[in-house]
Structure 1
């Protein structure tokens, strides 16, 4: 045991020496545009509460009603008696929302990605994964018994070369984020779908940062390109725009969902999400569909902040979404700016290598529909003051 702990201590100390040791920040209030972090009020510009629904009063009231009817938890897995009528309602709502035949709920989008790759591939298959895919895709591919081939980011020519190279595999599965969380760009889905048809490949899209955000009515990346029927497996989350609580889902053809119910180990071998969390998803989806101006406000806020930061002289990565990567490039300068912004009352998230490639350190800002113009001006003022003080603008 002592050698084991010594090894851990050594690795932790190395993180601290490299300024990469992550300190936990403790949330002392509801997640909202302003929240209490470590005992002080902060403007939250680093979380994925895209539609501002995580503390919505109508949704909270609905959840209070649900807990009286369904209790706190199911105390059971989905293959036993863990699925309530609420779970089934949300699955059907999500299927209709995304233009798919059916959907299956998971405890997280991470587990949904793991299920998508481990259930549908074997040692005779190949998984083709974008180099900037989310860690859940990376780990899902590793946990599968399939061979894994990483292709350069959104490089469809390279993808085609690999599809041609691996034609002898039983199955070719192309897996990609719909919206890439660090850069805010969108997968070139039309080109990917064409390649999938040509080489008889399966298309899996992780739409975690797109569900409720991208496409008409926030219906996601496939809807953005009118390709709902061309994506074989669509992964989404309930932990970001749709309520900001927890949970994930897979939507697709009925056969896909039936198969996952039988063979999806991350689905079968865990208790289902509590009814209160499911209620958040139901109410949030309803709120988005009944109040489309929420989505409009999100995009207005994103345009305003991107424009303001650019005018100040910051380099903004060409994001296509409400994810705003403020490029600092130098790791030390990035961490310093992030800490100074936090001290000024603005919570953002700095990202440095190895989370992002060397030389691409950035402050990632994420907008919410609930942010007011005053909120954004407060942030811009802090960015201007600190940027000039540090010689960044």
Structure 2
């Protein structure tokens, strides 16, 4: 099985024949080219406005230029709405999982809104592919909206173990357009053969059985439940990214150093990677971890947490 075929079977059981809602069916998919062009021209503006790491609402109601709303909107995640001047195409773009907190996007509500406003839905699944959902197909499978999401972008370099490369799944017309217009596709070298072989085999394993995905879910909840019972605060819900919230940047760094002395390698995250006052140690559960590995890690957290007064 080729990597392209494996990814198509894994990520698009519905999308190969998917049609958008009736209002969108009249709009040529080639209009996606306008969205891509606008985004390419506006990336610097978005970064300069401080939106690259945060969440914002971005709209364009008066022309092709995107106006950036710099307000943060509290703790709630805002989603990227792009409205082209002609309204030929509306595109809702969101992460499936927000990686720093392990939050899952409310895709059912997003799809409801998209259908209400005749929009397509685009999700980035880099932190969901391979382990979220009953068979590891991602957030849209987990939330039962695979037939309502039109475009999925993801990576081969995280859970699939390929270390490089990625893919986009969507309507055939869009994929043909990307092959002609996408800069990363046009100006990148081909993936190394070992990466292709590794990623293809990973997808084949996920297609053959749900054992890996179910194992990941069980290991994740083992760590989260045991850490919570010990008195730690773990952000997110049911995601293998398990941020141990500490608040203080120095504390996160010192605890990570002490964890390494106990044989557990974890990283402390603090501003500007995360907001001030939201420092954490970000733990990532892997299919390769055993129950003994997880229990040992929890014990190390308990020991260092007591040392630094995080728990009693």
Partner residue in 1 for 2:29: none
1:351-390 equivalence runs, <5 A:
351-390=269-308
Query: Within 2, Cα distance between the matches of 1:278 and 1:198?
Result: 40
CA distance in 1, matches of 2:33, 2:239: 30
The Cα of 1:244 is off from its aligned counterpart by 4.2
Relative contact order: is structure 1 or structure 2 higher (C-alpha 8 Å, sep ≥ 6)? 1
Structure 1 residue ranges without an equivalent (≥5): 1-85, 103-116
What is the aligned partner in structure 2 of residue 320 from structure 1? 238
CA shift for structure 1 position 133 = 8.8
**Do the aligned partners of 2:156 and 2:199 also contact (CA within 8 Å) in 1?**
yes
Cα pair distance change 1:172/1:191, threshold 3 Å: same
CA contact 1:352–1:361 (8 Å) conserved in 2: yes
CA distance in 2, matches of 1:239, 1:343: 29
Partner of residue 9, structure 2:
96
Kindly provide the CA deviation profile for residues 207-266 of structure 1, in whole angstroms up to 9, marking residues without a partner as x: 011111111200111222332232222011111111242211000111110110111111
Q: Provide the residue aligned with 1:121 in structure 2.
A: 36
Structure 1 CA distance for aligned equivalents of residues 76 and 86 of structure 2: 21
For 2:120, the equivalent position in structure 1 comes to 202
| Distance in 2, Cα, partners of 1:155 & 1:299 | 25
Cα shift readout 1:112-150 (whole Å, capped 9, x = no counterpart)? xxxxx98733449999x9x99976999xx9xxx851546
TM-score by length of 2: 0.79
Task: Name which of 169, 184, 198 aligns with 1:280.
Answer: 198
Partner of 2:95: 177
Which region of structure 1 is more displaced relative to structure 2, 237-246 or 353-362?
237-246
Cα distance, 1:137–1:286 mapped onto 2, change above 3 Å: farther
Q: Select 1:228's aligned residue among 137, 141, 146.
A: 146
Given the superposition, is the C-alpha separation of residues 388 and 367 from structure 1 closer, same or farther in structure 2, using an over 3 Å criterion?
A: same
Does the 8 Å CA contact 2:152/2:170 hold for their aligned counterparts? yes
Inter-CA distance 126–268: structure 2 relative to 1 (3 Å threshold): closer
Alignment gaps of 5+ in structure 2: 18-31
Length, aligned pairs only: 281
Q: Residue 147 of structure 2 aligns to a residue in which SS?
A: helix
